[in-house]
Amino acid sequence: MDLTTHIRAVPDFPKPGILFRDITPLLAEPAAFATAIDRLAEPWQADGIDAVAAVEARGFLFAGPLAVKLGVGIIPVRKPGKLPAETISYRYDLEYGSDTLEMHKGILAQKARVLVVDDVLATGGTAEACVRLIESAGATVAGCSFLVELGGLGGRERLTGQRIESVLHY
């Protein structure tokens, strides 16, 4: 199945000059969504993944079914104040300001092999922060998996040293 036919290009969103790759048509089509999950899982089937880390918010859409397919649990990585128990956090810089990601303290076993999952790899800032957060918990990042990778924005370079698997490339 050609998944690119289920990705809508939206010009000038969220601002003029940006060509936004909208995944909602893929999510709305059961066969396309199932194929996307299969393709996300395939490279990791034999890698001994212990958990899938889901990056808020669209990463949740893919990480849940992917974790089920891999037979592992899911670790939500969220913005501050969204998790109910004690958390650990990682603060990172953005082009204009900073942001923070959190996950529950003690949710990962030491040396657990974790797969970071998100919908899109663009500049890589959020994915890199998620990697650093997982590493700070004593776990190992097995790699990063994305439905869409946008070339030319530096995301892959920002994740140097990490195995990166992307289903679609633009």
Which residues are identified as catalytic? 58, 95
Contact 165, 145 (CB under 8 A): yes
Tokens 């990778």 identify what position?
149
Partners of 94 in the beta sheet?
A: 97
Q: Where are the beta strands (DSSP E) in the chain?
A: 8-11, 19-22, 51-55, 73-77, 87-94, 97-104, 113-121, 140-149, 164-169
Q: Which amino acid is at 70?
A: L
Contact 22, 8 (CB under 8 A): yes
